[in-house]
Each structure stands twice: as C-alpha cells, then as structure tokens.
C-alpha cells in the first residue's frame, strides 16, 4: 500500500479501536465452535444463508489447509468471509512452503503462529485494516496431539480444549463448559458440537445449513464432512 | 588447473551398523599440492544423534556449517523439538539449491539416528540432489578409492566396535592412494547411548 503510516493507532486509554471494531464484526458473525478430543478435533459452523435460492454447494467455510503437504490441519471462522479467504490462501501456501523446505507437514502450532503473525502485521502496517475474522484452527501437532487454536484480529492466539466464537458465543461456551470432559472421544465430541450448535440456532438445523470438519488421530487427515455424513450424526442425536 | 572441488582436498565416509552409524573424515587442509594444516575439521556434530560431513572448498565447508547451525537453532526455538536427520537433510538440500546458479562448492553427507534410533544416511551433490542409502555414503577427492573399499569391506548390521574397525580401514586405505587427502583422520561412532570420537594414527604424507 502507498500509505507509510498505520491506520490503527492508540487511543488515550491505550486501546486499539480498529481491533475492537474488528472484534465487533466477529461477534456479529455466524457462530463457529470447536472441540479437541483425546483422539481428534472437530470444528463446526453455522452456514445459514441469506435465501433459499443460494446454491449452498458453492459456499465453503470449513477449509482444509495442510492436506496436500501430508498434514491434517483445517480452519473455520466467524466474521467477514472475504477476509477469511485471504487467510486460508496464506495458510495453505505457508504449509506447502514448509513442506518444501522440511519434507514434513507443518505442525498446527507453527501454522497458527504464522497466521497470527500475519494478522498482527495488518494492525501495524501502513494503509491497511485488521482482518475482520477470528479463526478456529484445528489439527494434530508435531507430537500427534490433537490441538484447537483461536486466532483473533489482533494476532493474539489461544489454545482451547473447546470454544466458540461469533454470535451467541457466550451461551455456546457455557454449554461446552458443562459438557466437556478431559478424555472425550472424537465421536462424542462431534455429537456435543452439534448439540451446542443447535442450542443457539435460529430455525431448524439441517445437514445443509451447517458445516463440520474433523481430524482424527487414526489417519491424521482433516476432512470436511459431506451433508450425508452430517445427516448420519444428526439422526443419531434424535 | 584442477576442479574447484579438489582445491583443498577431503575424504569422508559414513556407514550404517546395527542401531548405530559412524562417520569418519581425514583432517588435511591443502592449497592444491601444498599441505597447510593437518587438523582441519570437516565433520560437524549438529546434535548427539546427527552429524554432517562437508567435503569440498574449505571456505564453503565452514560457511555451510554456520548456515546449518543457524537454521537448526531457529527451528529448535520455534518448534521446541529437535530436527530429525531426514528433515535436516532436506534443509541442506534446500540451502544448496537456492544457490543453483552460483553454488556452494561442497558435496555433503548426513549421518544420524532417527526418532526410532534407526540409522539414517544421505549424500548429495553441490546443488542438493539427494541420495538415500542404508549402507554407506562417501564424498571427497578419493571417492573412487572409497567406493571400492566400502563395497568390499562393508556388511550390514555391524555392532559399533566392528563398524569402527571397518570404517577406519576403508578410510585409511582410500586416502593413502590420494595425494589430496589424509594427513590424519577422525572417526565418530553414534549410538542411542552417545557418541564416541577417536583420532586415527595415520600416515603423515
């Protein structure tokens, strides 16, 4: 950008208002959540669309990141969709570059650090605004442990056992806090994730207006569940 | 006038044994025919289970050693874990190819134990083309001699003591028929319990 000065500057009280406003954009976004089980991670989001005329197959919110580089990382967001796509692109290229240099998949913790670092740059670089999204990144770390991370517009990141972001996140987190157990298995985690999502859902939740992604310790690959697979889980819940 | 890769002289071999690896190198530093030092290190310990042998132009040997240490340190700080030999080998290959049209004049070999304490060996050319073997790798100015000696003396699954003897004999016999290498040798034996390094009593000519 041609600007040499940052548009994100401190207020008298020490706040960076642009970041606060970005967090507002996130809080108004569709709910997303994730749970790290002992043998895998699940992330899910509300995909409700503006009208029934929208071709739902073209909308993708849960995205795999490290697949082609032998890894199993994925991410989802709450907030401004187009900003998210830039971050997905960046994360994918970062995972591939790592693989070229090291011939090993980029561990999720390293991916999180790179992405967070990029988001921070946009709060200090000339002429740009922060990304209007919070991300939930899920994957297996270098030692094979399933991990879930949240990355905020400021570039701050947190590791979570389970969390929710976007609209209604407080209720969703309270619900998760009650249901989360240390040695939860992935199957249970998926069920709990769906239950949590349904709690704050406006209208009927179906396999076509949510998106779920899963990475399991057994095969180490991140998969976005097909509507049929999601439907199976929904049927089991009733 | 000889090739730039033969300017300083070197002879380095790495061999795999039973749950162990060994790497040995001569210690001559020459300027073409004139010997200038007999204590020049060409094998570098990256950690207790990973060694790299750098044969070729001496200035590049030292520079690449420094670059590798730099990359390894950053990796360990960021990832909070050690670099495995396979990853290290790839980093080295990457560093060399980055200089594809103005390369470092070295032909390295990597020897180490992987996460399961199994031997890892690799060698590559000056632009990073790797080769992975399970028996031995050689590099330097006496490769013809070294290949012959290794092919003859090597057998799989040697215990550390026998590996040491075999590797030492292979190296000594090879450098004695090469004017540019020799003048002393050092051998490192790497097992899961640690590293043993020994200097060989060699012909000083």
pLDDT tens readout for residues A114-139: 999 999 999 999 999 999 999 999 99
Tell me, letter by letter, the H, E, C secondary structure of B66-120.
HHHHHHHHHHHHHHCCCCCHHHHHHHHHHHHHHCCCCCCCEEEEEEEECCCCCEE
Q: Touching check for B76 and chain A: CB below 8 Å?
A: no
Could you tell me what percent of chain A has a pLDDT over 90? 87
Q: Looking at residues A10-16, what average pLDDT do you find? A: 95
**Which of B68, B71, B72, B79 should be substituted to probe chain A, the one whose Cβ sees the most A Cβ atoms within 10 Å?**
B79
pLDDT, tens digit, for every residue of B83-139? 999 999 999 999 999 999 999 999 999 999 999 999 999 999 999 999 999 999 999
At A128-180, the pLDDT tens digits run 999 999 999 999 999 999 999 999 999 999 999 999 999 999 999 999 999 99
> A79-85 contacts: CB < 8 A, separation 24 or more?
A79/A22, A79/A25, A79/A26, A79/A29, A79/A131, A79/A132, A79/A133, A79/A134, A79/A153, A79/A166, A80/A25, A80/A29, A80/A131, A80/A132, A80/A133, A83/A131, A83/A132, A83/A133, A84/A131, A84/A133, A84/A135
Taking CB atoms and an 8 Å cutoff, what residues of chain B touch A104?
A: 84, 86-87
Give the pLDDT band (50/70/90) at residue A238.
Answer: low
Please compute the mean of the pLDDT values over residues A196-217 and round it to a whole number.
Answer: 93
Does B91 contact A113 at a Cβ distance shorter than 8 Å?
Answer: no
The complex's ipTM?
0.84
Q: Does A209 touch chain B (CB under 8 A)?
A: no
Mean pLDDT over A51-56 rounds to 86
Report the pLDDT value the prediction gives residue A48, as an integer from 0 to 100: 83
Mean confidence (pLDDT) of chain A:
94
Q: Of A101, A113, A142, which is closest to B81 when you measure between CB atoms?
A: A142
Q: pTM surpassing 0.80?
A: yes
pLDDT tens, position by position, for chain B (205 residues)?
679 999 999 999 999 999 999 999 999 999 999 999 999 999 999 999 999 999 999 999 999 999 999 999 999 999 999 999 999 999 999 999 999 999 999 999 999 999 999 999 999 999 999 999 999 999 999 999 999 999 999 999 999 999 999 999 999 999 999 999 999 999 999 999 999 999 999 999 8
């Amino acid at each position: 950008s041609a600007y040499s000065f940052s548009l994100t500057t401190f207020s008298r009280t020490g706040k960076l208002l642009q970041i606060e406003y970005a967090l507002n954009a996130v809080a108004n976004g569709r709910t997303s959540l994730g749970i790290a089980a002992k043998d895998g991670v699940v992330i899910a989001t509300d995909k409700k669309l503006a009208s029934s005329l929208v071709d739902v197959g073209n909308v993708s919110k849960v995205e795999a990141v490290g697949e082609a580089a032998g890894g199993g990382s994925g991410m989802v967001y709450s907030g401004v969709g187009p900003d998210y796509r830039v971050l997905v692109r960046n994360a994918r290229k970062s995972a591939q570059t790592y693989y070229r240099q090291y011939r090993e998949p980029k561990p999720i913790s390293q991916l999180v650090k790179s992405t967070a670092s990029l988001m921070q740059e946009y709060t200090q670089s000339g002429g740009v605004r922060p990304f209007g999204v919070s991300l939930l990144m899920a994957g297996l770390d270098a030692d094979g442990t399933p991990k879930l991370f949240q990355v905020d517009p400021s570039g701050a990141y947190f590791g979570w056992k389970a969390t929710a972001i976007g609209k209604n996140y407080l209720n969703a987190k309270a619900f998760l806090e009650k249901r989360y157990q240390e040695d939860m298995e992935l199957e249970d985690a998926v069920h709990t994730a769906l239950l949590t999502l349904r709690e704050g859902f406006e209208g009927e939740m179906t396999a076509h207006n949510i998106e779920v992604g899963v990475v399991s310790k057994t095969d180490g690959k991140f998969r976005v569940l097909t509507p049929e697979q999601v439907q199976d889980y929904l049927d089991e819940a009733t | 006038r000889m090739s730039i890769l033969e300017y300083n002289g070197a002879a380095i071999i790495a061999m795999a044994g039973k749950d162990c690896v060994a790497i040995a190198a001569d210690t001559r530093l020459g300027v073409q025919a004139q010997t200038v030092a007999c204590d020049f290190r060409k094998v570098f310990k990256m950690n207790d289970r990973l060694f790299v042998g750098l044969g070729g132009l001496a200035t590049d040997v030292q520079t690449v050693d420094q670059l590798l240490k730099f990359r390894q340190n950053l990796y360990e700080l960021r990832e909070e874990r050690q670099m495995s030999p396979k990853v290290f080998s790839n980093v080295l290959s990457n560093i060399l190819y980055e200089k594809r049209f103005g390369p470092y004049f070295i032909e390295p070999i990597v020897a180490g134990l992987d996460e399961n304490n199994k031997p890892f060996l690799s060698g590559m050319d000056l632009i990073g083309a790797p080769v992975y073997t399970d028996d031995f790798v050689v590099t330097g100015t006496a490769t013809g001699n070294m290949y012959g000696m290794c092919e003859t003396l090597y057998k799989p699954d040697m215990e550390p003591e026998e590996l040491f003897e075999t590797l030492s004999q292979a190296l000594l016999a090879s450098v004695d028929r090469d004017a540019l290498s020799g003048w002393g040798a050092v051998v490192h034996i790497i097992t899961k319990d640690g590293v043993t390094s020994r200097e060989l009593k060699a012909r000083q000519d």
